[in-house]
Structure 1
Amino acid sequence: MNMKALWFALCATIACMGAQSASAALNNPSNADNKTVGAVSQSKLSLNKADQQQLEAIPGIGAKKAQAILEYIKLNGPIKDKKQLMEVKGIGEKMADRIAGFVSFG
């Protein structure tokens, strides 16, 4: 697992479980089990609620694309689907497909 994917998994864990639960799990890794790992890998980051750092953790998204996504949301409101995501400068169909695998649009 590369560092960006690992960072995304950590951010998704914090978003889904809450900071307190995630912190407890990180501080006591001996209690981790395969169910927790499976839940993290299936979690999706809410695109419209994500911050710069969380967006950058998505594989293929750097600082510039993350900023473009945030700017688009600020100017146009929430992104509702993959098609609308392609309206963000620098994001084409392939990139939107890749991003959609890691995020939810709700």
Structure 2
Amino acid sequence: MPEFPGGAGNFGLFLSRNIRYPISARDGNSQGKVIVGFVIEVDGSLSDLRIIQGAGTDLNEEALRVMKLSPKWLPGMQSGRPVRVAYSVPINFTLSRE
């Protein structure tokens, strides 16, 4: 299976450092899970980014924006050779109760 550089913990750190909760979504109290689908190419780059499950236009756009910033992943391997892999990740948008 493909892997984000440094593993799942680094992926979470990447998301937390790069996601900017859209002001309109915050003002409208919009929350939810966005599932982003994409293909990890043999060189580790991401292609064919798309929303599989959305949570509103602003949150969907922010999830896609951040995934487009992603560094190259470690590609999936099959029989010792890198292969293209379809993959999806959930990105949760939750407002704190401050």
Q: Place the TM-score, normalised by the shorter chain, in its bin.
A: under 0.3
Q: Which has the higher helix share?
A: 1
TM-score, normalized by length of structure 2? 0.28
Q: Which has the higher strand share?
A: 2
With CA pairs under 8 Å and 6+ residues apart, which has the higher RCO, 1 or 2?
2
